[in-house]
Chain A
Amino acid sequence: MEQALADLLYGFGVALQPANLMWVVIGVVLGNLIGVLPGLGAMTTISMLLPLTYVIPAVPAILMLAGIFYGSMYGGAICAILLNLPSHPPHAVTCIDGYPMTLNGRGGAALGVTMMASFFAASVGIMLMVFVSPLLEAVAFKFGPTEISAVMLLGLLAGSTMARGSPLKGIAMTLFGLFLGSVGTDVSSGIQRYTFGLPDLADGVDLAALSLGLFGIADFLLTVDRREVSTTTTRITMRQMMPTRAELKRSILPMLRGTGVGAIFGAMPGTGPTITTFVAYALERKISKSPDRFGKGAIEGVTAPEAAAHSKTQIDFIPTMSLGIPGDPVMALLLGALIIKGVNTGPQLITEHPDVFWGLVASFWIGNLLLIVLNVPLIGIWVRLLRIPYRFLFPSALFFIAIGVYSTHNNVFDILLVAVFGCVGAIFLLLEFPVAPVVLGFVLGPMLEENFRRAMVLSRGDLMIYLERPISATFIVLCLALVLLQFYSYLRVPPSPRPARAMH
């Protein structure tokens, strides 16, 4: 306990260093700014700004990326509530009651409670992170290559099967990502794999190019001229953001419950934020005394899912940082950025890089506080940004993508790679294959291969080692349980279109 507080204090020391603080501010502001823009979700925002981090050291880089992430979540909520446009899938739920509130003239209050709920839930998540991560750290030193590869397998399986859509398609996309991760020079033999003689591929596929293609360009290809034109004439002033006493009273319990739901789902690897927000919303409607108000502007329907999304996001950082297993594609991107910076992710991260871990934890608080301070006075500007039409937005974003990717290696090859992955991603999306697991597989692939290789050297090629060691056996059993569960639900569901799909 005392140790955790001392560590946290150390983290504040790291995060408050002027150079680091500056990057947190830049990340939060840019994330918020881009996140507000209609159609640019958290994934696109982080990928677009990923090249910026290549030039700065690891600690400010991760602080900035995390800032971009939750900044864009705040921005996305604004877009969802005022425009009925979820740029980041978890916000689809926020739209259900947030937009009717805007139509009723209470959009400002919806934004106000969203900010309060987000800050509260994030704070709870951060506290959990502070106290749980060191416990995991204590277990982590028992992790050898066998355990690490087993837990990675679990992370990959969970990430690909528990998201939306068909689990088989998710697994297929994870495998595609694993394959992409093996492109480039093989570390142990020096042989070039799948480079087709292109020297630009010798260092492997660039993470920013891959994610910008899959989440930026692919999305432009599919939505150009298909997005319904939505504009807002809403004007929100600072005073309107203050919810009434009655609204506040109705929000407090949903905020607590939402935070709880987020915490529970955060502990389960692979459950995406979208499912978390849906559950939080369904729970509120179920226990409400007047469920018919939902969908017509019930404030609980905004508070609970937003709180759930933020506590889940914070708690997702626990496995990402303490075990090196990203819970969702956003975490995979952040982890990928750390790997690019040469930080050894995995169970040793907290001990080897306390500055990264504790600095990050402290920066969450600073960043979330900053967001509240920023969003209240700047809300007028954000609302004006919402009026930028998509037809101007996507060509501009395309330019920033192209130049951003160019700047990473001063090489135009990566721009072509973005075009290729944009095309591939769009084709897969047209066929209803999820593209998020590709990033998960891509980031974990090289680590999985190396740890599996080491495990096999230790056991002289005997796979039974995975069942002989208690920790890895537990993970393998969980993997099997996951597969059986999917099989069971597949057999049980009658051949009818699943309603969950309609919400994309």
Chain B
Amino acid sequence: MTDRSADGRRPATLADRLGKDRIGAALLVVMGASIATLALTYRMGTATRMGPGYMPFFYGVLMVLVGLAIGVAARGVREGDRGVAAVNWRGWLCILGALIAFAIIGVYGGLVPATFIAVFLAAMGSAANSARTAALLATGLVIAAVLIFSYGLKLQFALFAWG
């Protein structure tokens, strides 16, 4: 795995000043509290006759406690500590977008357009790919998709769908 250290020249962001542990701790407390609160809306029951909310409630409570412990134990930002790595927005948007596009276009357009657009989008997530190489890669995978999944494995997925 590559080094994900933050670029040293970047000015310290809010995330850097808080530190990974405190952000993580806050996230855990919020998640745990929501899980426990929702669990209360299911029937709790007693230890002898547990309801559906019993175990999730304790998972949530424990998450809050562990989150608090992580927050307290966080030793602040140290000299030479690696900050939160900068998020590669282009990569994130393109990769997550590619999955969502595949799901939506798969239903409304069929396998061929879904594959082409998803692979093209994902490939564009890397700055090393040009639109041309991305389109070539996408075309190649469309052919592979049709041969392997449609003809080979007989997957129930229309090649083209209209609406």
Q: Are B48 and A460 in contact (CB under 8 A)?
A: yes
Contact between A416 and B103 (Cβ–Cβ < 8 Å)?
A: yes
B-side contacts of A126, CB under 8 Å: none
Beta-carbon contact of B99 and A217 below 8 Å: yes
Query: What is the CB-to-nearest-CB distance from A78 to chain B, in angstroms, rounded to a whole number?
Result: 18
Give Cα A456 to B87, complex, Å: 46
User: What separation, in Å, do the CA atoms of A359 and B61 have in the docked complex?
Assistant: 43
Query: Are A430 and B95 within 8 A (Cβ)?
Result: no
* Contact of A415 with B by CB under 8 A: yes
The digit string for A460-473, where 1 denotes a CB below 8 A from any CB of B, is 11010000000000
Interface hit among A104-112, A128-136, A223-231, A289-297: A223-231
Taking the closest CB of chain B, its distance from the CB of A497, in whole angstroms, is 7
From residue 386 to 400 of chain A, which have CB atoms closer than 8 A to chain B? 389-392, 394-396, 398-399
Cα A86 to Cα B2 with chains together (Å): 10
Enumerate chain A residues within 8 angstroms of B126, measured Cβ to Cβ. Answer: 224-225, 390-391, 394-395
Q: Which residues of A contact B137 (CB under 8 A)?
A: 392, 395-396
Contact A396 B141 (CB under 8 A): yes
Smallest Cβ distance from B131 to chain A, in angstroms?
A: 13
Q: Are B24 and A431 in contact (CB under 8 A)?
A: yes
Q: How many of chain A's residues touch chain B, expressed as a range? A: 35 or more
Q: Is the CB of A423 within 8 A of B119?
A: no
Task: Closest A residue to B63 by CB, please name it.
Answer: A175
Contact B92 A418 (CB under 8 A): no
B99 lies within 8 A of A418 (CB): yes
With A166-B70, A460-B48 already in contact, the answer to whether A398 and B99 are too (CB < 8 A) is yes
A225 and B46 contact, Cβ closer than 8 Å, known pairs A172-B28, A406-B157, A431-B24: no
Query: In the complex, are the beta carbons of A391 and B123 less than 8 A apart?
Result: yes
User: Given A225-B88, A430-B87, are A497 and B51 neighbors across the interface (CB < 8 Å)?
Assistant: no
Given contacts A225-B127, A412-B106, A460-B48, whether A395 and B59 have CB atoms under 8 Å apart is no
Residue of B nearest to A452 (CB): B55
> B110 interface residue, CB < 8 Å from A?
no
Q: A182: CB under 8 A from chain B? A: yes
Interface-lining segment among A20-28, A185-193, A234-242, A306-314: A185-193
Q: Which residues in A have their C-beta under 8 angstroms from that of B50?
A: 453, 456
Pair A221/B1 contact, Cβ less than 8 Å: no
Q: Is the CB of B48 within 8 A of A395?
A: no
Q: Which residues of A contact B38 (CB under 8 A)?
A: 194
Cross-chain contact A419 with B96 (CB below 8 angstroms): yes
Q: Which of B23, B88, B133 is close to A431, meaning CB atoms less than 8 Å apart?
A: B23
For the complex, is A407 an interface residue (Cβ under 8 Å from B)?
yes
State A428–B63 Cα separation when bound (angstroms).
Answer: 14
- Chain A residues with Cβ below 8 Å from B159 are none
Residue pair B145, A399 in contact (C-beta under 8 Å): yes
Bound CA span A395–B32, Å = 34
CB of B59 within 8 A of CB of A179, answer yes
Give CA–CA (A157, B51) in the complex, Å: 25
A175 surroundings in chain B (CB, below 8 A):
32, 59, 62-63, 66
For the complex, what is the distance from the CA of A54 to the CA of B104, rounded to whole Å? 24
Q: Check A172–B66 contact: CB distance below 8 A.
A: yes
Contact pattern, B 34-46, Cβ under 8 Å of A = 1, otherwise 0: 0100110011001
* CB < 8 Å neighbour of B49 from A412, A457, A497: A457
A264 CB-CB contact with B under 8 Å: no
A392 (CB) vs chain B CBs: closest residue: B137
CB distance A432 to B20 under 8 Å? yes
The reply to whether B66 and A168 contact each other, CB–CB distance below 8 Å, is yes
The answer to whether A222 has its CB under 8 Å from any CB of chain B is yes
Q: Which of A399, A430, A433, A497 has the most CB of B within 10 A?
A: A399
Contacts of B155 in A (CB 8 A): 403, 407
Contact in complex: A168, B73 (CB < 8 Å): yes
- Complex interface residues of chain A between 147 and 201 (CB less than 8 A to chain B): 166, 168-169, 171-172, 175-176, 178-179, 182, 186, 188-189, 191, 193-194
A430 to B134, CA, bound (A): 27
Confirm or deny: A220 has a beta carbon within 8 angstroms of a beta carbon on chain B: yes
Chain A 369-409 interface mask (CB, 8 Å, partner B; 1/0): 00000000000000000000111101110110011001100
- Is A410 part of the binding interface, using a Cβ–Cβ cutoff of 8 Å? yes
* CB of A422 within 8 Å of the partner chain: yes
Bound Cα distance from A413 to B104, whole angstroms:
10
Determine the chain B residues whose CB is within 8 A of the CB of A452 once the complex forms: 55
Minimum C-beta distance from B19 to chain A (A) = 9
B73 CB to closest chain A CB (Å) equals 7
Among A172, A221, A407, A410, the residue within 8 A (CB) of B95 is A221
- Give 19 A-B contacts (CB < 8 Å), ordered by A residue: A172-B63, A175-B66, A182-B56, A182-B59, A191-B42, A191-B43, A217-B99, A223-B2, A225-B91, A389-B128, A392-B133, A395-B137, A398-B95, A399-B119, A403-B115, A403-B149, A431-B24, A461-B47, A497-B80
> Which 3 pairs, one residue from A and one from B, show the smallest C-beta to C-beta distance?
A461-B47, A395-B122, A461-B48
Known: A179-B59, A217-B95. 17 other contacts (CB 8 A): A168-B66, A168-B69, A191-B43, A191-B52, A193-B42, A194-B35, A194-B38, A221-B91, A225-B88, A392-B137, A394-B125, A399-B118, A431-B21, A431-B27, A432-B24, A433-B24, A453-B55
